[in-house]
Each structure stands twice: as structure tokens, then as C-alpha cells.
Amino acid sequence: MNKKLSEVQNRSPGGRSMAPPKAAGELNAVQLETDLLKRWADEKTFQTSIDVRRNGAPFIFLEGPPTANGKPGIHHVVARTYKDLVCRWKAMEGFLVERKGGWDTHGLPVEIEVQKRLDLMSNEAIEAFGMAEFNQACRESVWTYEAAWREMTERMAYWVDLDNPYVTLDNDYVESAWWALKQMFDKGLLYRGHKVLPFCPQTGTSYSSHEVALGYKEVEEPSVYVKFKLTDDDASILAWTTTPWTLPGNVGLAVGPEVTYVRCRIKEAAGEHWEGAGGADVGEEVILAKDLMKEVLRHHVDIVDEFLGADLVGRSYEPLFPGAVPKGDSTTAWTVLEADWVTTTDGTGVVHTAVMYGEDDYNLGMEAGLPAHHTVAMDGSFVTGTHPELDGRYVKACDETIISLLSSPKGTNGKGPESGLLYREKAYAHDYPHCWRTDHPLLYYAMDSWFVRMTAVKENLLNFNDQVEWAPDWVGEGRFGEWLRNVKDWAISRERYWGTPLPVWRSESGEMKCVGSIKELQEEVARAVAAGIANPDCPDDVDLHRPIVDGFKLLSDSGEVMHREPFVMDCWFDSGCASFAQWHHPFENEEVFNASFPVDYICEGVDQTRGWFYTLLAVSTTVFDQPAYKRCLSLGLILDAEGKKMSKSRGNIVDPWDHFNREGADATRWYMVTAGAPWNPMKFDPNGVRETYAKMFLTLWNVYKFHADYAALDGFDPEASTVPVAKRPALDRWVLSRLGTVANDYHENFVNWQFHKAGRDLEDFVVNDLSNWYVRRSRRRLWDEADSNDKRSCQHTLHEVLLTVCRLVAPVAPFMVDEIHRNLTGASVHTAPWPAGVPGSLEGATSDDWDEVAAKATATLPPTDPELEATMALVRELAEAGRRIRIDGNRRQRLPCAQGWIVAGPDLSEFHDLLAEELNVETMLVENDLDRFQRIELAPNFRALAPKARSTVNEVAQAIRTAEDPEALLQAINAGGAEVLGVTVEASDVDVKRVERPGFAAQTVEVPDADGASLHVSLVLDMNDSPALLSKGMARDITRRVQAQRKAMDLELEATIDLEVWMVNGPTMEEADEAWVAAETRCAGCVFHPEGSTPPEGAETFEVDGTTVHFTVA
């Protein structure tokens, strides 16, 4: 860097608005970003970016609250990038976009973390430890990784207010949740029930369907075919189960009344291939569905009888485990029952029924009056009295014991067949629900629970879902819609400690009261105290958690004592309340809430479909009778570079900091957004981040550096001496037009959620159009030390293009573009307007409705000129064609050609100089006689030809393509139609291609013109040499070598040298060319020694086209 530049670089940045930019230094992206973070903090740029849009229409974003008791990973960075980019974009569009942070702080994940740490692996252990102490530990544990989250969030530049977040454990938040529950209670949507629910013995709690959905895993387990011996008959009924542990609880067998069953007699002993335990004796008789005989039986049998299931109903059989279930006053226990849901798709067509451990079993049991008795305790072990060998053991560990008990002769009750009660065992692979936190298999278990009657509002759910704009749409219609159509009542209570307590008090006789606020609680407590029920104090700031709230006893309307139902809420209920609880609705902030419900935009991973996306809608539907959000972006899963799911156990988690500290957050974010559609699964390839950095950001920086360095040197003032666009050279007008086109497409893609397409196109513009063509072609324009119109045009153009590019990039990658924008304008890009317009700032605009025309008028984009863009595309094609010609003709690039001809196409005279320079041609000419260098080729146009030619289209096409004399054929066609193989071919049936004639150093390019039609333009180069050309070519080769040597010697740009040149077998150098070498290489002295002189030892040497050149630089 020369002196002048370094002086400029050291100039203080303060107090400048539209002064000349500082020179740009070398890029250190990480340093640049961390410096900017400080600056944003100091200047409160985030807050300012909101404040400057204070009068804009609000655009409401709702943050899905993360849990801060786990480390943030790269998938969180992805989600936060999409949240951030939409908010930033909308803000730039002039909307007021406030972004409140949030934390999810209740629930199982927290409790389990604490349980592990304190070694409290059962509910008893927790209660022995003390619920208050335990919850205190939870309250603290919640913030374990808050700092890590904060650092990640700030470093990646996710702008969200973390200083005033909503926190689900706050009293205000809990109070709002209570209020919501009371609304449901009052509408009759909240009820207490006894149902079979998936239950985790380790965490001691049941789960709702959306939690169960999180934990399906494929497992292989023993399934068993069991003989149920009829009491009044020697035959046994076969039934199948995959859960042997439910067999002691068996109290019934269900058959399909319309299903055909058979009674079979075992004809001969089984073969040697018998696998596992079980068996049957010859002569023994079994009953099962006819359709399943082949599937089930492993013996040859005779069919003794055939009948419908209805005929079996009422038959009684011997209990498998006598005494495990007391019969009580049931008249139906251990008999055959009918159920229309019994099918013959698997099993035996007979369903073993254990009332307490299956949903259908339970319903059937209640209907038929079977005894409802638990054989399994809440900790997952068999209750005492089930069987001496099973009592107290964990049920899933008893499979083998149960199998061997059943296998013993005459069975467990001594009344079974001699061969035992087990017919067969079979390994069975199926998906089975597991605890999403502990991975333990869940047990279906009948228990008391609280439910929200979602089934009652199903129509509304579907309606409201239709109003949501989903991205992608198929998640809303398909996956989410499917879920809603099958909606079940929401089991919201948890037998746990750390969560929003269920605010329902209940008396012995079943009177209930739901409390909806602290004030109400105080009043109820006071009433109870007045009636003589002792109660602790209930101050205004009473902690709305267990065990405090458990301590309050209320008074029922009939005067009974009421105790709180000892449950906490599903923590998904908490986050489902976020849209209003974040504002402590309805107790505070009425205006804010009214203005921000429903919210405009939420965005989370697709795994939240059954999670947050659902609970938000579930709560808003039941409480407000409204949808909670208008737009929902559902993101695809993050996979590793191999396409595997990222998980701790696989060890393939990508740490975002690896990239923040190497390529920076800009490159990381831009990579993630351009890697694919947001909703598609993304293979995160660390190398892709590096590539993005090298291509997009390094290139952008160097374009900027090129501009800023010269702008600083020249004291360029973007507000002074502007050159009107119309007066600028075509190259400038071209890049501005491209910018306009690209920016409009970019905006269009944003609107359609196609952020990846937008980003890819813009990157292509920056790398290809801006850097590799505009800047490359403009470099010499800025070298000019004198002030000139041309130079100023270039500077203004660069300035304008860079500004707009910065603004377009800013929502996606907010760092580097801010640095650039600040240096160019003195203001942050994050307070700048969106180039495609600022609808949010329009009078009367709302987040989803504004005056399109007025919005367009606020755009700050240059006008587009499709014709100029098409022309430049052609020029670039021709430049590339020229290189191809030289390679084919074996003529090096630095050796000039005397002339080049452009054949056909539009007038390119404006670009002749540019082309001459690119192509290294002395004179560009236009050849008007097309036939001199071009010939015609005809290509069939199938779309037009096919309907006429029908099945002969291929032959006709071939005939057109291979016509002996295409010119003559074309003439005939144009003269009104030519007969080809019986088909009249007209002008519209063929495409005319003009290609170069063989024998010339020529290439033809095909480009679309502004109207989309094809242009065929040829370039021809004169490949003849002359002494003058050889001299010029050599001068360029020498110059290039000397420049390389200067660079190798690390000389200052302005340093002068002494150059001496010796040539062997060289061309005769012209004086002008020698002078040109001297000027280009900044020679103080320059000597070309005559042919035959001897160069000194150590001179640089190179060869070109048979000439050996030696030179020294001093």
C-alpha cells in the first residue's frame, strides 16, 4: 500500500457523514465482526433500527422460547438466522418490528437435568430431598447455559431483546397461563378424566400425544401366543400379545362378532424347526381366526369346527395368573367379549384384554364391567400379590419369567393343558413409544389426568389453520392438517414438581374451582380462612409454584375443604401461551396485546409441528377463538455432511463457533440460507461455509476495497459532481440495470419465501457481473490520476451498486455490509431503507395490506434496460468466443490480432473498444456480408412440426437437419412452404441457426435478445502475423513478466526500476513498444540490448513462441 493510502486509512472516522470513504484494509472477517458487535452495543444500533421505524406499521414476530439448560448448536443458529432475516427485512421495509426474547423454563427437561445432578432418580427421592429445594435447584438450573445462548445469539447477530424477555417461570407469565386455563375451565373444555395414557415409570408421569410422537423407536421384543383354556371345554382360545407383562392383568378376550373362527385339533407333533418356548400336544384343541391359521399355527391340524365370533361370546376361561386380579363383583371377568374393532390383520383374531394397560382394553372393560385393578405400580413394577416370581420386579424385565411360567405343564394354575399355556413365542419388531427425555419404553397405563377437550374445537382448529400462510404450504395442509384432523384431547397434567401448577382445587366430593389470578387466589384463601380453614399467607408476590400453592386449602361452595389437584402443566402448554402471556395479558399491557395478536410471523423447525405450532394454535383456539399466528415458516432438519441427523450420540454435532471464529457469522449465515430451501433438510457441509466466504464475502470485500481505496485517494464525494446515469458509459448503465433486475427478483423471492434463490442470484451478480466483469473492465478507469467524467461515473456507479447490494444482503448477513455501508454513507445499513420499497412506512399500511403502487414509488432502484443487458451478455459471449478461437488456432492471448470481425447481431459499436481490449485485437470491424463467414443450419421446431407430421415427425426432422442445401431449402420454406417427405414445412416449423463457416478462425455464439429470440453472432479473428504485431505481443509478454518480478520483489506500486532486456531469436522491437514497456513497468531506465549480446548471470529468463528472453530488474 502506498503512502497516500495509508495516510487516508489512519484518518479518524468520527463526525463524518457523506465524506469520502476510508480506504479499506485487508479483510479479517472475524475481527471485523467482533469490532462491529462492540460498535452496535455502544451505539445501540438494534434499538435505533427499531426506533427509526417507530411510526411504521407493526410487524409482529413471536420468538419460540428455547430452553437454556442445554448448549445451543448449529441447528439453533439456522432457526435464528431465518427468524432474524425476516425481521430485519421487514424492518428495512419500514415496519416496526419489536423482538421480545423468551425462555422456556419449566418441565421435564429441567427436572431430569437436576435429578441427574443430584442423583434423585425417583419421585420418592425428590420428595425426600424436599420439593421446595428441588424446585429451587430447577429454577437455578434453567439458566445453566443462558450465557452460552446469549453469546451465540449475539455473535451470530440475531437481534432480539434478551434484556426484557418473557420467562415462563415468572409469576406474571404463570398468572396469564392460569387465566387461560380458567377460560377453558369456564367453557367446559378442561376436564378431569381417567384414561389410559402413555406413562414413563422413570419420570413418573404421563405424556400427551405430541410428546409421545417425539419418542418412537424401533425395538424387537418377544411376542407370545397364549392358550386361554376354556372352563367348560378342553379347547383353548389362542391370543397374541407383544407385551407379556400385561398378561397377569388379563381379564377378558375380545373377538370380532363377524369374524370367522375355527377350532382345530393338533394332528401330529411339531417338526424339529420349532423355535423358542411353547408347544402343544397331539390331540390338543385350539381356537383362532380362520384367516390367521397359517400365520399362527406351527402344527398340522384338523379343523374340527367353524363358527362366527359371536358364538364365542360369553364363554369363560381359566385366568392365567389366578389371584393377580380380584374378581370383585364383576360377572364378565375372564369371559369372551365382542368388540367390532377386532381385525385379522395380525395376531390370532382374539385380543387379550388387560383393562388398565390399553386404551381399547380400558374402554371395553368399562363397558363390559371388567374389574379395574392394577397389577403394575406407578414405578413400573408388579404389585405384590401378582405372582411370587413377579412381585416387585420391573415389568419389562419379566418377559422371560412370564414365558417360562406359562410354559410349565398345566400352566400357572394347574388347570391348563399338559403342554403349558404358551403356544409360541416370536420375536416382533415394531415401533414403540419411548420417553422423549429418558429413552425408557413407555407403558400404557390407566390413570387420573386432566384434559383439554380439543376434540370439541376441531372444526375451529382446521378453520384457523386454513387462514395461516404456511411455508412450505404442504406442511400446513399435509402434516399439520393431518394432525389436526386426528386431534385428540390434550392430556395436560403431569405428576411432576417443576412447572406451572394446575390451578384447580377439588373437594372430597368432587366440587371444583379453577383459580385464574393471584387476586382470585387471595380472595379464595381469605374466604377459606374466614371459614376457619388454616392457610399460610398469600401475599401479592406469592410464588406460583409448588409446593407453595399446594399449601393453600380453599372452601367449596358447599363448605367442604378443597385441595389443589397435585399436578403441574405440560410445559408445552406454557409455551403455547406465549402470544399473550409474554405481555401478562389480561392483567397488563392491554394495548400492546391488542395490537399484536395474532402475531404476523413465527419460525421454528418442522419438529415443532406437533409442538409449539400446535400448542400455540390449541391455546388460542380454546381461549380466544382465534388463530395465534398468520405466517409460519417451518424449517427442515439439519443433517451432517453425510446426511445423518445431528445428535450427541453420533458425535456429528457442528459447533457454530468453529465457523464464527474462522469464516465469521456472515459466511455461516449466508451459507445456511443459500444451501437450499429453508424447509428442506439441510446437509451442513463445513466446507460450504469456507466456499461461501471465499466467493461471496471475499469478492464483495475486494470490490468494496477497490472502490474505497481509490475513492479515498481521490477524495471522492458521492454527493458532489454526480454524473447523470444517462450520461455514463454503457458499462456503468449496464451494471446498474443488472442491479435493478437482480434486486427486483431478490425481493420477489423474499416475498415467496425463496430466500435460497434470492441469495444464489445475488451472489452470482456480485461475483460474476460486478466483480468479474464490471470491476475487471473498470480497473483502468480508476488508475487515471486526473479527474475525469469517466472516472467519476465509475465511482458513482460503484458507490450506488455497493450501497444497494449492502442493503439487500443486510437481512441475511448483517456484518460486512454494515461496515461497508457505514464507510460509504456514515450510517448503518440497518437503518437504511429496503431498495425495493418501504411499504411499512406508508400511511395506513398494516403488516399484510398496503398500497402496492405507493410502495413501488418508494423503491430506490435504478431503472432496468433489458436491451442493454442482452447486448452486454452478447459482448461477454464474444469475449469468451475470442479466447476459444485463440486456443483452437494456437495463438497466445498477448499476441495481438490485426483485426476481428463481428458478423450479424445488433450494433455493438459502443463496445468495440472494450472488445478490442478483451480480445487483444487492433481493430474491430463489422462484417455486413453474413455469408462471407457464416452458413445456415436448419433445426426442426418440434412443437410446430409435430401436429402436422404426426408419426413421421422424426423422419421429417432428420430430413430438415441433414438437407444437402439448407440455403435452398430455407428459400423454399420462406417462399411459402417446402414439401419435405409429404409435409409442408413453413417458416414457423424451423429454427434457422447461423454458424461460422469452416476454414475461418471463427466461433458463433447464440444469445437471447431482449425479447427472448435467438441471436447467432460470429466472431472472426485475423490470425496473420506482422512484424508490428510480433513486436507488440513481445512487449506485452515482457511487461507481464516484469510486473510479476516487481511483485515478487515486493516493490511499492509507485517504485521505479531499471530494466534491461536481452532476446535470442526475438522479433524486431519497435520503439513505441519499448517505450510502452518502460511506461507500464515504471522504468527509470530501460535498455533493450541488441540481438547477440550476452545477458549477465542470474538474469530472469522466459521463452515465448521460440524466442528466449532474459531480463534484469534493479
Partner RNA sequence: GCGCGGGUGGCUUAGUCGGUUAGAGCACCCGGCUGAUAACCGGGAGGUCGCAGGUUCAAGUCCUGCCUCGCGCACCA
DSSP secondary structure string for all residues of 452-486: E-GGGGHHHHHHHHHHSEEESHHIIIIIIHHHHHT
Within 10 angstroms of residue 527's Cβ, the number of other Cβ atoms is 13
Q: Residue count of the chain, please give it.
A: 1114
CB of 944 to RNA, least distance (A): 9
Question: Which helix (DSSP H) or strand (DSSP E) does residue 1105 occupy?
Answer: none
Distances (CA, A) of 319 to 92, 324, 333, 612: 74, 9, 9, 46
Residue from the set 48, 260, 413, 1043 that interacts with RNA by CB under 7 A? 1043
Could you give phi then psi for residue 477, rounded to 5 degrees? -70, -45
Please identify which of the residues 608, 754, 795, 934 carries the catalytic annotation. Answer: 608
Find the part of the chain contacting RNA (CB under 7 A) among 105-113, 371-379, 740-748, 1047-1055: 1047-1055
SS3 1060: strand
Q: 421 is written with which cell numbers?
A: 399355556
Q: Select 431 or 929, whichever has its Cβ closest to RNA.
A: 431
Please identify which of the residues 104, 732, 1022, 1073 carries the catalytic annotation. Answer: 104
Q: Select 183 or 250, whichever has its Cβ closest to RNA.
A: 250
Residue from the set 125, 1044, 1075, 1079 that interacts with RNA by CB under 7 A? 1044
Please identify which of the residues 498, 572, 583, 834 carries the catalytic annotation. Answer: 572
Residue from the set 146, 880, 922, 1100 that interacts with RNA by CB under 7 A? 880
CB of 644 to RNA, least distance (A): 7
CB of 104 to RNA, least distance (A): 19
* Annotation marks residue 65 as catalytic: yes
Measured distance CA(510)–CA(448) in Å, rounded: 13
Confirm or reject binding of residue 954 to RNA (CB under 7 A): yes
Q: Select 657 or 1102, whichever has its Cβ closest to RNA.
A: 1102
CB of 73 to RNA, least distance (A): 16
Find the binding residues for RNA in span 590-629 (CB under 7 A).
Answer: 606-607, 609-610
Q: Select 213 or 930, whichever has its Cβ closest to RNA.
A: 213
Measured distance CA(610)–CA(210) in Å, rounded: 5
Find the part of the chain contacting RNA (CB under 7 A) among 51-59, 228-236, 397-405, 880-888: 880-888
DSSP secondary structure string for all residues of 113-172: HHHHHHT--SHHHHHHH-HHHHHHHHHHHTTTTHHHHHHHHHHTT---EEEEEEETTSHH
Find the binding residues for RNA in span 667-726 (CB under 7 A).
Answer: 675-677, 680-683, 685, 687-688, 690-691, 693-695, 698-699, 702-703
CB 636 within 8 A of CB 64: no
Confirm or reject binding of residue 345 to RNA (CB under 7 A): yes
Confirm or reject binding of residue 359 to RNA (CB under 7 A): yes
Please identify which of the residues 612, 734, 834, 850 carries the catalytic annotation. Answer: 612
Residue from the set 277, 372, 456, 946 that interacts with RNA by CB under 7 A? 946
Single-letter residue type at 1021: L
Binding-residue pattern over the window 187 to 226 for RNA, x denoting contact by CB under 7 A:
----------------------xx-xxx-x------x---
* Annotation marks residue 104 as catalytic: yes
Q: 382 is written with which cell numbers?
A: 408388579
Could you give phi then psi for residue 213, rounded to 5 degrees? -60, -25
Confirm or reject binding of residue 351 to RNA (CB under 7 A): yes
Single-letter residue type at 507: S
Q: Select 502 or 957, whichever has its Cβ closest to RNA.
A: 957
DSSP secondary structure string for all residues of 695-756: IIIHHHHHHHHHHHHHHHHHT--TTSSPPPGGGS-HHHHHHHHHHHHHHHHHHHHHHTT-HH
Nearest residue to 26 (alpha-carbon basis) of 957, 685, 702, 1006: 702
CB of 256 to RNA, least distance (A): 8
Nearest residue to 498 (alpha-carbon basis) of 552, 564, 569: 569
Find the binding residues for RNA in span 888-917 (CB under 7 A).
Answer: 892-894
Q: Select 766 or 861, whichever has its Cβ closest to RNA.
A: 766
Q: Select 189 or 1034, whichever has its Cβ closest to RNA.
A: 1034
Q: Select 649 or 687, whichever has its Cβ closest to RNA.
A: 687
CB of 216 to RNA, least distance (A): 5
Binding-residue pattern over the window 625 to 654 for RNA, x denoting contact by CB under 7 A:
------------x-----x-x---------
> 3-state secondary structure string, 232-251?
CCCCEEEEEECCHHHHHHCC
Measured distance CA(142)–CA(109) in Å, rounded: 9
Farthest CA pair distance, the chain = 127
CB of 1109 to RNA, least distance (A): 14
Residue from the set 58, 94, 222, 358 that interacts with RNA by CB under 7 A? 358
Find the part of the chain contacting RNA (CB under 7 A) among 320-328, 351-359, 649-657, 1024-1032: 351-359
CB of 282 to RNA, least distance (A): 28
* Annotation marks residue 645 as catalytic: yes
Measured distance CA(689)–CA(699) in Å, rounded: 14
Confirm or reject binding of residue 34 to RNA (CB under 7 A): no
Confirm or reject binding of residue 883 to RNA (CB under 7 A): yes
Find the binding residues for RNA in span 242-261 (CB under 7 A).
Answer: 242-243, 246
DSSP symbol at 964: S
DSSP secondary structure string for all residues of 818-880: HHHHHHHHSS-GGGSPPTT--GGGSTT-BTTB--HHHHHHT---PPP-HHHHHHHHHHHHHHH
CB of 441 to RNA, least distance (A): 12
What CA dihedral angle connects 1102, 1103, 1104 and 1107, to 10 degrees? Answer: 120
DSSP symbol at 492: -
Measured distance CA(409)–CA(406) in Å, rounded: 8
Find the binding residues for RNA in span 1051-1070 (CB under 7 A).
Answer: 1051-1053, 1055
CB of 669 to RNA, least distance (A): 16
Please identify which of the residues 20, 21, 58, 65 carries the catalytic annotation. Answer: 65
Residue from the set 953, 972, 987, 1064 that interacts with RNA by CB under 7 A? 953
Q: Select 538 or 775, whichever has its Cβ closest to RNA.
A: 775
CB of 625 to RNA, least distance (A): 24
CB 476 within 8 A of CB 462: no
Please identify which of the residues 4, 645, 727, 856 carries the catalytic annotation. Answer: 645
Q: How far apart are the first and last CA of the chain?
A: 20
Residue entry with cell 428442506: 680
Find the binding residues for RNA in span 748-777 (CB under 7 A).
Answer: 767-768, 771-772, 775-776
Residue from the set 951, 962, 979, 1114 that interacts with RNA by CB under 7 A? 951
Q: What angle, rounded to 10 degrees, do the helices at 789-809 and 730-751 form?
A: 10
Measured distance CA(76)–CA(799) in Å, rounded: 36
How many residues touch RNA under the rule CB under 7 A: the total is: 101
Confirm or reject binding of residue 1114 to RNA (CB under 7 A): no
Measured distance CA(452)–CA(492) in Å, rounded: 7
CB of 491 to RNA, least distance (A): 12
CB 195 within 8 A of CB 220: no
Nearest residue to 738 (alpha-carbon basis) of 636, 868, 854: 868
Measured distance CA(693)–CA(688) in Å, rounded: 9
Q: Select 72 or 256, whichever has its Cβ closest to RNA.
A: 256
Confirm or reject binding of residue 430 to RNA (CB under 7 A): yes
CB of 534 to RNA, least distance (A): 46
Find the part of the chain contacting RNA (CB under 7 A) among 397-405, 498-506, 736-744, 877-885: 877-885
Binding-residue pattern over the window 1008 to 1037 for RNA, x denoting contact by CB under 7 A:
----------------------------x-
Q: Select 509 or 951, whichever has its Cβ closest to RNA.
A: 951
744-777 burial, b at 16+ Cβ within 10 Å, e below that, comes to ebbbebbeebbbbbbbbbbbebbbebbbebbbeb
Q: Select 168 or 209, whichever has its Cβ closest to RNA.
A: 209
Active site residues: 65, 104, 572, 608, 612, 645, 648
